[in-house]
Chains A and B, each alone.
Chain A
Amino acid sequence: MPINGKDLARIVDATNIKITATKADMERLIAEGIKHNFGMLVGLPCFGPMLIEGVKGYDIKVHGAAGLRDGGGDRWEVKVEQAKSKLAMGCGEIESRLNLGYLKSGLYDEIVHEVRAIKDVCPNNIYKVLLEVTQMTDEEIRIACELCMDGGADFVKSASGEYGPTTLHHVEVMSSAVKGRIGIKASGGIRSIQTVDQMMEIGATRFGIGLDSALKILEEADNR
């Protein structure tokens, strides 16, 4: 049964993380977040406290980034510190980036160790790992999903969108690897309700969508 706008908003992480976004853009993210009751807001980390204050009293979480460097090439200690710091600030969910260099170097134990170390500091909050599937072969996606599950992540997230959109095929590969054991967040280039519907069909239970596209998609959800 196709999801309506109201229900869809609850599983959308509405996002504005352009580094040129201003304080005013963050204010708009808060306003639209409240108006449409998105489940989560993803804004610039330096405005974390402002976002958390802005949605106080509403059932809207604010995302906490444990590491930002493309490809997850930061040190694991820094990611853990960031996770701790974001939780202390009041972020409801944590996301980190899989270390792509380690994956391609075959340093699988290091990846599991990192994921485990981050999950250990957020036992009661949802923790997602961003894979960047557009930079991986299907086999690498499967391995990455296994490693994240081994490490205790709650969700695997497909992409940031910076390196191209997540396709249906990507979600299929993730889904067949994950077999329902953890959640799948689809993000990166998602711009229509058709894409959302199709991805939900094959197992995506959360979406990361840029704010403007998210508003458009909510409207499409109510008008099909």
Chain B
Amino acid sequence: MALNGKELAKIVDATVINPDATVADMEYLIEKAKEYHFGVAVGLQCYNQMLIDALQGTGIKVLGAGGMSGVTPLDTKLYMAKACVEQGCGEIESFLNVSYLKSGMYDEIVKETRAIREIAKDQVYKVILETPLLNDEEIATACEVLIDGGVDFVKTGTGTLGATDIHTIEVMAKAVKGRVGMKASGGIRTIETVDAMMELGVTRFGIGLKSALKVLEAADNR
């Protein structure tokens, strides 16, 4: 099922979130998002209003973050999720509390996930696992716990801790069994990777803007 560039763009969350991203970087993200019609634009949260205003009426969603990290306390995750929903973000992502997972505090994770789910009831809600920090069993447990929590998607990672590989997607697909969506992100740079991951059931991709543009081009030229 080889997607062309136009179809692929719809399932790519085009991302610019380097910690020193500037206003000019966001302007470029907006320009490219409009040109290629990505499904979602992901920028630094402090620039969200600018992104939402600029993409008004285009059908391109802006991502809101419910938490800066998995270890952000729950009350802050909820505050942020609420603020993002009110602002007009079309999708919400939060981070799995990896510390809780490794401490065996699964009930805490379910409780937290459901609470954020409740706030993001009309938005697509994804939780980031940061798979480079987890072994296969932990990935499977995390997926189970998050499905319990009511997520729409499990997402592999941000890429800051390492790239997502095919094996990780295999482990996730085996655990998820199609019950929720899988978003692959982190070090995805080629159409071959995208194709291989789609084969395994991935239906959404998080790709840095520069790489995303290259991948779209490759999609049209194969």
Contact = CB atoms under 8 A, between A and B. Distances in A.
Contact of A69 (B25, B45, B73): B45
Contacts of A74: 45-46, 65, 68, 80
Interface stretch (B2-10, B14-22, B30-38, B207-215): B14-22
Contacts of B98: 19-20
6 contacts: A47-B99, A68-B72, A69-B68, A73-B46, A74-B46, A100-B20
Nearest to B95: A19
A107 B23 contact: yes
B70 A19 contact: yes
Contact of A46 (B17, B20, B65, B74): B74
A75 B20 contact: no
B99 A81 contact: no
Contacts, number: 106
A19 B130 contact: yes
Given A46-B100, A69-B45, A78-B79, A19 B19 contact: no
Contacts of B166: none
A22 B68 CA distance: 19
B71 A44 contact: yes
A180 interface: no
A45 B19 contact: no
Interface of A: 17, 19-24, 44-48, 67-78, 81-82, 85, 99-105, 107, 132, 135
Given A67-B68, A73-B44, A46 B80 contact: no
A20 B24 contact: no
B56 interface: no
Given A81-B76, A101-B21, A104-B20, A75 B48 contact: yes
Nearest to B105: A23
B37 to A, nearest CB: 25
Interface of B: 17-25, 44-48, 65, 68-76, 79-80, 83, 97-100, 102-103, 105, 130, 133, 160
A82 B21 CA distance: 23
Among B18, B45, B68, residue most surrounded by chain A Cβ atoms (within 10 Å): B68
B20 A101 contact: yes
A19 B76 contact: no
Contacts of A81: 76, 79
A71 B19 contact: yes
B46 A76 contact: yes
Contact of A19 (B21, B45, B133): B133
B73 A132 contact: no
Nearest to B160: A70
A101 B24 CA distance: 10
Contacts of A103: 20
A73 B103 CA distance: 29
B25 to A, nearest CB: 8
Across the A-B interface, give the 6 residue pairs with the lowest CB-CB distance, nearest first.
A71-B19, A73-B44, A69-B68, A105-B22, A23-B103, A68-B68
B19 A78 contact: no
Contacts of A70: 19, 160
A68 B69 contact: yes
A74 B69 CA distance: 11
Contact of B83 (A71, A75, A85): A75
A26 to B, nearest CB: 8
Nearest to A71: B19
Contacts of B18: 71
Contacts of B79: 78, 81
Given A75-B83, A76-B46, A81-B79, A20 B73 contact: no
Contacts of B160: 70
B99 A44 contact: yes
Given A23-B105, A48-B73, A101 B46 contact: yes
Nearest to B17: A73
A81 B25 CA distance: 27
Contacts of A24: 103
